[in-house]
Amino acid sequence: MTGKLVGTKVTRVEDDRFLRGGGRYVDDVAVGPDTLHAAVLRSPHAHARILDIDVDAVLDLDGVHAVWTYDDLHGAMAEPLPLLIPHPALTHGRTQFALANGEVNHVGEAVAFVVAEDRYLAEDALDRIRVDYEILTPVVGVEAARAAVHLVHEDVPGNVGARMEQEHGDARTAIALAPHRLELDLRIERSACTPLEGRGTVARWDADTGRLQVWTSTQTSTGVRAAVAAKLGLDLGQVDVITPDVGGGFGVKINHPWPEELLVPLAARLLRRPVKFTEDRREHFISSAHERGQVHHVEVGFDDDGRLLGLDVEFWHDHGAYIPYGLIVPIITSTQLLGPYKPANYRVVFESLYTNTVMVTPYRGAGRPQGCFVMERTMDAIAAHLGRDRTEVRSVNFIQPDEFPYDQGLIFQDGRELEYDSGDYPASLAKLKALVGWDEFPAFRAEMAAAGRQVGIGLACYVEGTGVGPYEGAHVHVETSGKVKVATGLTTQGQGHQTAFAQIVADTLGVPLSDVEVTTGDTRRMPYAVGTFASRAAVMSGSAIHLAALRTKEKALRIAADALEVDEADLEVVDGLVRVKGSPEHHVSLGTVAVLSNPLRYAFDEASKAATQFSVGDPGRPPVAEDDEPGLEGRDFYSPERSTFASGMHAVIVETDPLTAEVSILKYAVVHDCGRLINPMIVEGQIHGGVAQGIGGALYERMAYDEHGQLQNASFMDFLMPFVTEIPDGIDIDHLETLSPLNPLGIKGAGEAGVIPSAAVFAAAIEDAEGLSISSMPISPSELFELRQLRKDPTC
């Protein structure tokens, strides 16, 4: 598709509202002065049996309307929460209950639920509940889970929820026969999404109509709708889920339903009053999802040029106490680890392990940062072993541009073949080297060394599967005013959908951008959708919106051709006018076409007179043809054969302080290929945000559990995050556009690109600066200092 808006830097239309304080988040939803407020009692223990819960002191507390424990739940509400993505390898899948059923398996697990006149009363009521626990030994960390001296769930042998193996070729034989072999042990620590806005849910039951309205901060309105209907015994048509503005998601809000997303609607229905729950920050740390924690062992065989002859990877994934989102994260690690490379033989095995910690669901990157870290550390180790330039080793392993589509011989997270659709990795590397000054770096290093300063450079490459199915849909409707209303079902958490999607519609339909209004995440407007995750919005909803706009345009041309008494092929739509090509003075506005598209019996204004029975229509045929329907609108869905695969490469130059071991960023460069760019400004904003988040993950952020399963840094006072002072002032970005053949726009996703290679690229740069092996991330100044001490004295 070509147009005058797609591909240009259009200022985000939503920003004016946000910058003026006009954002409307779940906690801002006002459903009446009679709104009740909910609070949740959470377990203080990582592993314990619940012997007794005494709520007597709450029952007569003035202003408290409900107090529930597991015993107060019935029917589907008393069953475990859904295992959202089953998999044959997930032989021991376990999910939590809405309220703990006899046992708690992590600090923060929901035990009791209170609804009161205000949040203060609800919290006070929680303090009056007495729970008698029998403390059990917790399992914390991969090593303890593998040892299996203690079990998280008594019926899960060895704490192993799943074991999965995939192989292409014969990796172990190839490694054994290779002229060079290496082994590496690599670790990524736990982290978490920590969006500015935590989770929140508001619900209102209308007893007169038998309908439930739910507002929730989610990445999948339709998923929450289906879960609420199923658990509360309602028809889908009785439940509306609306996602207002969302203050960040990053993956934690794709999990659904959270206990509160069921308990709040249930309370609203039973109490016949609106109910609101807003998660506080500590709750988010100890009861929402984490990610990243994995331990990897690598064996690799390669030739004198560094060409991969065999690669064998085994890793252990810590999925926490429950596994509602299935094996998506470790499957992505196991497949996306390959990046832009083509090892002749590849084998990967992983075990997904239970621990008495917060459960794991995807966090921006979703297994890719771990896979990229493993592959890129391996590439750097090969280069060091051979004494070759790190870019040369990568180059000899690249899939070449004429090899696409390229089948890696594995199954991806969507159950489809891991087949890359397009790319040009040599061109990306050439751009990156020029952008960061790779060839000039030795001279820069010497210059800095002469000044007593220590610097290093690193690079990392990745491929990202984006636009996973199964589908997304869109509805495009032209009002009689000429305004265009667009609805798509996936949700928005700051990606600029109202702008990018409007650009697509404006170009496809031929209307001004200012005439297009986009609605997302409202099941009243689009009841069929999947959600916003895995860098899929532009590919999936963007394609669906394009197709729906084409349908709308086709109908507009047909109606206008009748009105103007010309052939459809002689018409074009420009700036909201359907006009005759070469004779633009002969035209009709899209608003008028919308009037004509709806034959009327009654006239309500001057415009509608044109569509009444004595003004329009052929008496010889029905006002609405058999194969048509009233209204100027189009509806369509896009469902891909398989994922598209974006790619990118990052490079960073760092300085390490010889005394404090502090790491400073001197230069950061990114080359990214997400196919056709809808809005380069938005893509660059996504990359900037991802890089900032990646810097946090590489140098600052981690979830620090002690041996008792207590999270030691469950506040923003203790959980380190980068400030603006830690983010480079300028990030150099260049784009490559290799179009995807899998969708009508030729686009690929971009949402997670900035964060994927961060751990790998910083490990490489710090290693280059220090001459120390970096095998675990994130790395703090104190850890770097300890590595220096170990180099001086390995016995210390």
What pLDDT digit, counting tens, does each position of 79-130 carry? 999 999 999 999 999 999 999 999 999 999 999 999 999 999 999 999 999 9
What is the 3-class SS of 139-169, one letter each residue? Answer: CCCHHHHHHCCCCCCCCCHHHEEEEEEEEEC
Instruction: Please report which confidence band the pLDDT of residue 602 belongs to, taking 50, 70 and 90 as the band edges.
Output: confident
Q: Would you give the DSSP letter of residue 735? A: E
**Mean pLDDT of the region 168-195:** 97
Give the pLDDT confidence of 407-416 residue by residue, as tens digits: 999 999 999 9
DSSP 106-135: STT-EEEEEEESSHHHHHHHHHH-EEEEEE
Examine the pLDDT at 66 and tell me if it is beyond 70. Answer: yes
3-state secondary structure of 23: coil
Distance CA 450, CA 452 (A): 5
Q: Tell me 733's DSSP state.
A: E
Q: What is the reported pLDDT for 3?
A: 58
What is the number of alpha carbons within 13 Å of residue 603 lying toward its C-beta? 13
Quick check: 498 and 13 in contact, CB under 8 A?
yes
d(CA 749, CA 454): 37
Q: What span, in angstroms and rounded, lies between the C-alpha atoms of 582 and 786?
A: 75
Taken in order 432, 435, 439, 441, the sign of the CA dihedral is negative
Residue ranges of alpha helices (H) inside 471-513 are 497-509
The amino acid at residue 724 is V
Identity of the residue numbered 661: A
Identify the band that residue 610 occupies on the pLDDT scale cut at 50, 70 and 90: confident
Largest alpha-carbon pair distance within the chain?
98
pLDDT at 774 over 90: yes
**Residue whose pair of structure tokens reads 């009363």 in the numeric block:** 121
Which of 281, 278, 319, 358 is closest to 104 using CA atoms? 358
Q: Which two tokens stand for residue 467?
A: 């636009």
Q: pLDDT higher for 611 or 437? A: 437
Average pLDDT over residues 51-55: 98
Would you state the pLDDT for residue 372? 98
Taken as a whole, the chain contains a residue count of 796
76-113 b/e (C-beta count within 10 Å ≥ 16 → b): ebeeebbbbbebebbebbbbbbbbbbebbbbbbbbbbb
pTM of the model: 0.96
Can you read off the two tokens belonging to residue 426? 């040599």
Q: How would residue 1 be classed by pLDDT, with cut points 50, 70 and 90? A: very low
Name the strand (E) or helix (H) holding 41: strand 36-42
3-state secondary structure 451-479: CCCCEEEEEEEEEEEECCCCCEEEEEEEC
Which of 576, 558, 556, 549 shows the shortest CA–CA distance to 745? Answer: 549
Average pLDDT over residues 329-343: 98
- 3-state class (DSSP) for residue 302: strand
The pLDDT tens digits for 428-449 are 999 999 999 999 999 999 999 9
Give the CB-side neighbour count of residue 310, counting CA atoms within 13 A.
Answer: 18
What pLDDT is recorded for position 502? 98
What would the pLDDT profile of 615-649 be if each residue is shown by its tens digit? Answer: 666 777 788 887 889 999 999 999 999 999 999 99
Give the pLDDT score at 617.
65
SS3 448: helix
Tokens of 714: 């469950």
Least confident range from 263-267, 392-396, 594-598: namely: 594-598
| Interval 487-538: pLDDT, tens | 999 999 999 999 999 999 999 999 999 999 999 999 999 999 999 999 999 9
Hey, what are 679's tokens? 């809005």
In terms of C-beta density within 10 A (0-12 exposed, 13-18 middle, 19 or more buried), how is residue 411 classed? Answer: middle
| Distance between CA atoms of residues 433 and 426, nearest Å | 11
Q: What residues have CB less than 8 Å from 193, skipping those under 6 apart? A: 248, 249, 250, 251, 252, 288, 289, 291, 363, 364
Is the CB of residue 508 less than 8 Å from the CB of residue 550? yes
Tell me the pLDDT tens digit for each residue of 720-755. Answer: 999 999 999 889 999 999 999 999 999 999 999 899
Q: Which residue has the tokens 């080793």?
A: 393
d(CA 110, CA 321): 13
674-to-343, 536, 553 alpha-carbon distances in Å? 24, 11, 27
Cα–Cα distance measured from residue 637 to residue 473, given in angstroms and rounded to the nearest whole number: 4
State the Cα–Cα distance between residues 356 and 378, nearest whole angstrom: 31
Task: Specify the residue for token string 């589907």.
Answer: 76
Per-residue confidence at 2, pLDDT binned at 50, 70, 90? very low
Residue 341, helix vs strand vs coil: strand
User: 758-770 vs 368-386: helix axis angle to the nearest 10?
Assistant: 30
**313-330: average pLDDT:** 98
Q: Are 669 and 650 in contact (CB under 8 A)?
A: yes
